[in-house]
Structure 1
Amino acid sequence: METQKKNIFVLGMDEENAEKLNQVPGSENLIFHQLLSYDYIHDFEHTPMDEIMESARQQLKGFDGSIDGMLWLFDFPGVLMGPILCKEFGIQTAEPLSVFKAENKYLSRVEQQKVIPECTPKFFGFNPGDPESIKKIDLEYPFWIKPAISFSGHLGFEIKSDQDLGHAVDQIQHRKDLFADPYFTLEKQIEMSEDMHHASEKIFVAEQIISGKQCTLEGYIYNGEFDFHGLIDSFRYPNRMSFSRYQYPSKIPQRVQKQMHEKAEKILRRMGYENASFNIEFFWDRKNEELWLLEINTRISQSHCNLFKMVDGVLSHKIPIDLALGRRPELPHRKGEYKLAAKLFLRSFIAGKVTRSPSKEQIREIEKEFDAEITHTVTEGMQLEDLKWQDSYSYVLTILYLGAQSQKELLDKFDIIANKLDIEVEGKKIRSKQGRRM
């Protein structure tokens, strides 16, 4: 007798993720349904969030079949929409309030301060539209400011002086409500204490700068039991704020990884978060033997999915699929083709016109030659300022996923590929410039 296939709805599923979800073992018994398009969900700048949510509800209500699970793979707003919709439609996942506590960077810091103060930097919530609120920031320079809700480092700035702060606030002013307005629309749809709602009105966070070796801990909670399936190291361009690559597996000592596990479990239990995946970013200050928590994300990191496949043998998409179906996730360990893998970024640190860009055919040839996956984000003649959702310091031109048997092999491959891509901005060739230290 033929097994009845289960229906899983995926918020904002795009073609790339549809392909990857269907590569996961057991996916032949599943049907993945797109719940709204990626572009529509992320058009919250022009489409009211109430309207986006209602479109999702109507699609689910109109489905003629069983809704067996729901998952989301992207950051805001999907990570907040998903738990609300799951609760309304009786689908198992984390409680919406626990997700809001984790995802709102100010609320998250408040919770962290209560249970892991030793890992929590000094911080202040403020509203860039309120001069009095800004005056109350009591931090020594340099410090960092960022929206309480955002993604991809958008509207984040390092502040080294009064002049920097004034310049950043000026840049933020006309964009400060871009994330805040849709966030508050979603927040109104969950039960939250008056004190917490008042706290969430601080839409930006100023934080003491933390430093050390940056990494991301990936894991999940199933029926109250924690499991951690990987630690990924983050590298920045030398003397820059922008990321150059994410590399798996981590080189951080096991004793430090164990500390991360303990801190992660402590804060997530405090928030009441369970039956869902997470990734938590840490800094390990080796010199001072300090561990700092940067932020909590209530999902798997798409940046790491391919890395797990290359090293361990299966895309980490398997984790949210299993959790959506109420199953304990199981992943293989070190069953992949490579000893290490990385997501690497080729960036421009100058604005201007792209004066040379490879063709699709050239990119496909490079992918085949190096067993790479390449996402090229620019075209010849494009102005880099037109790219959306960039950090405040650079422009992503190309993203590559590469596997290797050693770090030297990995970075040598990337240097060769960057040279073959032969991208130019304002007539200047863009090179890899990857830092080679741990």
Structure 2
Amino acid sequence: MGNKTVFVLGMDGFNQAKLERLSSARDCRFVGLIDPAEIMEAEYFPIDDMLARATAQVEAHETPPDALIGYVDFPVSTMLPILAQRFGLRAPSLEALLKCEHKYWSRLAQREIVPEHIPDFALVDPFADNAIAACSIAYPFWLKPVKSAGSYLGFRIDNDAAFEAALAEIRAHIGIFAEPFDRILDHATLPAEVANVGGRFCLAESLIGGEQCTIEGYVQDGNVHFFGLIDSIRAEGRSSFLRYQYPSILPRRAREQMEDISRRVLAHIDFDQSAFNVEFFWDAAADTVWLLEINTRIAQHHSDLFEKVDGVSNHEAAVNVALGREPQFPDGGGAFKYAACCFLRSYVDGIVGRVPSVDDVDALSREVPGIIFEPHVAPGTRLLDLTHQETYSYALALVYIGGDTPEELDQRYLLCRDRLDFDIRPAD
């Protein structure tokens, strides 16, 4: 048994295995807090109850906590600093974290330090009678809640009709995240400009574009470190992600701009003692980058990519920063030169007729070594009933693959897509 007790909010089996394979964490015992189903599948988040239960579990444990970590978005990311403060553990302040997680507050802070690298934006009250007329951002733009997860309730708005349709959907469903997020905000000291901007507000942002990517790193004792750049590849002509691919093929000058902007923003908001990932667009024609958003954690969908290429997952940063130790990332110590997390999606509603079997995946592994298949549906699942899906598609499964070149990854992705059949049948 390890002599360091590390509590993990929402720990599932996949990530527990990644954590326990960390050579730097051999002295750690990982203890799960909150059933992951309450986070990934729930349609209601009783934040006060979840905080109380997590607190009671830590207090009742046989050994005191040495660290508290998480690797998923809301509500884990926002609960973590509250719980860490209660037990005197390393974590960002809640206010610094909210300057990333609260999309409006985040843009206000970014505008103070890197205004040339963010889009035009405006606050939108979806419940206001004049919401459309009051919006100052010209079409087309993106409309999204000030707090969501996984692109839930994010809409591209091209005209008044699309705006009205999006507002109707948002009004009907925004409470899933808005109500618990407001409970989190009750724990924070808010400046006047965001004090009345709760979870039921939205943000309109002008379109930005280019090659999308995510830079991962951590801040420890005020020092910002980076350990990987991942390309986010979208389906052609769509906003949905096709796969995350590591390492990035973008030029060094693009990464240097992203590192500079990340350092400046993170220092400006006093973000410290945590891993992070920052999403960007690189506009090759203008040779500049656009800051999309800051996430206050590692990206769990990247963990297997780092392990396949570098021999250690990004949990290395989360665990060791929380313990006050220096993370160690070897360069290219994994079994593959490139790796990807691929999405298998349906762009229409339907009922799942079958899910690929273990035998199907085993047979495919002869041609795709190192494949990991993670289904998100079961036979009989109605896609429309899936929780927390992005607006324009349904995620059926994740497939993790490795290869020696980006071209080989692409070939292996296509092979997986064609062989792993879900047989989606019409719902009506």
* Equivalent position of 1:345 in the other structure: 343
**Whole-Å separation in 1 of the counterparts to 2:398 and 2:366:** 16
**AA of the residue aligned to 1:412:** Q
Note if 1:104 corresponds to 2:102: yes
Question: What is the DSSP-based 3-state SS (H/G/I as helix, E as strand, rest coil) of the residue aligned with 2:196?
Answer: helix
Deviations 1:335-389 (A, max 9, x none): 1111111111111111112234322332344346522011122233322112222
TM-score where L is the length of structure 2: 0.95
Alpha-carbon offset, residue 399 of structure 1: 1.1
3-state SS in 2 of match to 1:294 = strand
1:188-227: CA deviations, max 9, x gaps? 1122334332244662111001011100010111111111
Change (3 A) 1:368 1:17: farther
Partner of 1:435: none
User: Which shifted more, 268-277 or 418-427?
Assistant: 418-427
Rounded Cα–Cα distance in structure 1 between residues aligned with 2:332 and 2:179: 44
What residue in structure 1 maps to residue 133 of structure 2? 135
* 1:302 lines up with 2:300 in the alignment: yes
Give the direction of change, closer, same or farther, for the CA distance of 1:202–1:388 in structure 2 (3 Å limit).
closer
Structure-1 residue corresponding to 2:56: 58
CA distance in 1, matches of 2:342, 2:294: 22
Q: Relative to structure 1, is the Cα distance of residues 338 and 191 closer, same or farther in structure 2, using a 3 angstrom cutoff?
A: same
Q: CA separation in 1, counterparts of 2:283 and 2:214?
A: 14
Cα distance, 1:144–1:75 mapped onto 2, change above 3 Å: same
- Does residue 79 (structure 1) correspond to residue 77 (structure 2)? The answer is yes
Change in CA separation of 1:423 and 1:40 when aligned onto 2, cut-off 3 Å: closer
Q: Secondary structure at the match of 1:174?
A: helix
TM-fit CA distance, 1:159:
0.5
How many Å separate the matches in 2 of 1:69 and 1:122?
Answer: 39
Matched residue, 1:430? none
- Counterpart AA for 2:7: F
Aligned amino acid, residue 383 of structure 2? L
Aligned residues of 2:276 and 2:296 also touching (Cα < 8 A): yes
For residue 174 of structure 1, report the CA deviation from its aligned partner: 1.3
* RMSD of aligned residue pairs (Cα, Å): 1.8
Kept in 2, the 8 Å contact 1:219–1:278? The answer is yes
Which of these residues, 334, 339, 353, is aligned with residue 332 of structure 2?
334
Residue 259 (1) aligns with residue 257 (2): yes
2: CA distance, partners of 1:60 / 1:217: 32
Once the two structures are superposed, what CA deviation does each residue of 1:146-200 show, in whole Å capped at 9, x if it has no partner? Answer: 1111111100000011000001111111112211110110111122334332244
Residue pair 1:125, 1:202 contacting (<8 A) in 2 also: no
Secondary structure of residue in 2 paired with 1:217: strand
Residues 46 and 341 of structure 1, relative CA distance in 2, 3 Å threshold: closer
Find the counterpart in structure 2 of residue 93 from structure 1: 91
CA contact (8 A) 2:142 2:204 kept: yes
User: Residues 109 and 189 of structure 1: is their aligned pair in 2 closer, same or farther, counting only changes over 3 Å?
Assistant: same
SS at match of 1:303: helix
Flag structure 2 segments of 5+ consecutive residues without an equivalent.
none
Question: Given the superposition, is the C-alpha separation of residues 152 and 164 from structure 1 closer, same or farther in structure 2, using an over 3 Å criterion?
Answer: same
Q: How does 1:130-279 map to 2 (within 5 A)?
A: 130-200=128-198, 203-279=201-277
1:126 aligns with 2:114: no
Query: Are 2:113 and 1:115 equivalent residues in the alignment?
Result: yes
Secondary structure, aligned partner of 1:196:
coil
Q: Helix, strand or coil for the counterpart of 2:277?
A: strand
* Distance 1:47-1:321 versus aligned 2 partners, 3 A rule: closer
| Pair 1:409 & 2:408 matched | yes
Q: 1:71 to 1:63 in 2, by over 3 A?
A: same
Q: Deviations over 1:93-124 (max 9, x none)?
A: 11111001111111100101111000110001
In the alignment, the residues of structure 1 paired with residue 356 and residue 37 of structure 2 have an alpha-carbon distance, to the nearest angstrom, of 26
TM normalised by structure 1 equals 0.93
Q: CA deviation at 1:266?
A: 0.5
The answer as to 2:385 corresponding to 1:389 is no
- Partner of 1:56, secondary structure, is helix
CA distance in 2, matches of 1:313, 1:348: 32
- 1:399 aligned onto 2:398: yes
Q: Percent identity?
A: 36
Work out the CA distance in 1 between the residues paired with 2:269 and 2:76: 19
Q: Residue 9 of structure 1 contacts residue 33 of structure 1 at CA under 8 Å; is this kept in 2?
A: yes
CA contact (8 A) 1:40 1:52 kept: no
Paired positions, count: 426
* 1:242-279, Cα deviation, whole Å (9 max, x unpaired): 11011111111111211111100111111100111110
Q: Give the drift of 1:134.
A: 4.1
Task: Evaluate the alpha carbon distance shift between residue 121 and residue 47 of structure 1 in structure 2; reply closer, same or farther with a 3 A threshold.
Answer: closer
Q: Which residue of 1 aligns with 2:287?
A: 289
Post-superposition Cα deviations, 1:31-76, rounded to whole Å, max 9, x if no partner, equal 1111121123457644521111111111122223221111011100
Correspondence 1:356-435 to 2 at 5 A: 356-367=354-365, 369-370=367-368, 371-426=370-425
- Tell which deviates more after alignment, 36-45 or 290-299: 36-45
In 2, Cα distance between equivalents of 1:166 and 1:4: 55
CA distance in 1, matches of 2:379, 2:417: 16
Q: CA deviation at 1:421?
A: 1.5
